[in-house]
Amino acid sequence: MASSTNDDDLFFKTAELSRLMVPADANVAGNVHGGIIMEMMEQSANVAASRYFNHYSAASDAKIHVMTARVESLTFQQPLLVGDVAKVQAQVVFASQHTLAVAVKLLSERLATQHEDLVVGNRAIMWIVGHVVRGEDSADKFELAIAPKLDPPTKENDKEAFMAYQLASMAYNRRKAHQEADPASLPNSGMMDEEKDINPPSSAKEKQPMAFSSPDDSAVELAQVMLPADCVTGGGLVGGGVVMKLMDNASGVAAVRHCGTNVVTVSVDAVDLAAPVRLGDVLRIRARPIFTSNKSIEISLQVIAERYSLGHDNKFQREEIVAIQQAYFTFVSLAPNSNKALSMRPLEPKTADDKKLFQQGKERYEQRKALRSPTGATKKP
């Protein structure tokens, strides 16, 4: 992601992963699932953070495992298609006492064309924490690692990393101020444009009925047991990217139920992973539409981990852990065989709670519109 005069120092704060997108990664229209993209980006962020923690940490007698604590924001700027080569680059840009902010971007190389330029498809800032593991018996004992000090990138040496550092620093200070004022509050995160400056063809308008739909009509709950392939550490911790991929699947189902068309993820609000998900947990993801604009739909998600254990009386005990209290995924509906956005089928809230959620979704939508700037807007196909 960056150039530096000290190649060794740069290596221990960066990571780059590449992968060819295959049909198993995409929906029936050939658009790569947003969850696949998020998983790759989270993996790259974890590699960079793990290198940094373990190379610079003062706890030389212990191994530090990393896990994602928060996704500050994630934008989808260009579609990723089957046959593209995705190159994910991550760089540690900010460090607080216990957390690292990792700037991640995904570049796509379209092999089926004559253009050799790499296109930025996604950007994100992810917050990673480390926990110290001493010996094999301490996998369940979480001791937060102290984040090694980081010299902030400078504008002269790396303009892109410097801009990411500024965004991370502002987000950290904003979140800290919110938590000091109200420990239960969370800062708002700006997201990229979720509506495209195009008009759907008149034929699509005529064929798509504008009937209203209630949130419960499209709500879904998906459940899946966490297996060894879902874990990224020896301690049996499930990767945050795996959880986000399942969240994208669930919210995508809810969006398809509402639209009845091909849908794609265009933005993800801040995601706080409040508790770690472990091997053997039954992950339940609840997804429910709460707001629609002219061309977008916002899905609210909650993630519950069901954990089973054998008690002293040899009876199985069941525990429910809220892994993610609330998250919001935004989708648009696409016309067949094109990337043109269709007008969204309106959502009709009926209960007082649904109307309140709809209004909150509308306020977030208006905030995102206010945060857009001509210099930061990216034209989407």
Task: Kindly give the pairing relationship between strand 262-268 and strand 143-144.
Answer: unpaired
Total length of the chain:
381
Rounded CA gap, 314 and 146, in Å? Answer: 39
Rounded CA gap, 202 and 361, in Å? Answer: 28
Contact 126, 70 (CB under 8 A): yes
Rounded CA gap, 163 and 123, in Å? Answer: 12
Rounded CA gap, 363 and 373, in Å? Answer: 18
79, 327, 351 from 28: Cα distances, Å: 14, 26, 35
Instruction: Give CA 242 to chain center in angstroms.
Output: 10
Count Cβ atoms below 10 Å from residue 6 Cβ, excluding itself: 8
SS3 273: coil
Which residues contact residue 270 at a Cβ distance below 8 angstroms, ignoring those fewer than 6 apart? 70, 71, 72, 73, 186, 187, 188, 189, 327
Determine whether 248 is an active site residue: yes
Going by the DSSP 8-state scheme, the letter that residue 151 receives in this structure is P
Contact 231, 238 (CB under 8 A): yes
Q: Considering 84, 248, 269, 354, which one is annotated as catalytic?
A: 248
Determine whether 339 is an active site residue: no
Nearest to 78 by CA among 129, 131, 21, 132: 21
Which residues contact residue 87 at a Cβ distance below 8 angstroms, ignoring those fewer than 6 apart? 16, 17, 18, 106, 107, 108, 109, 118
Among all residues, which ones are annotated catalytic? 27, 248
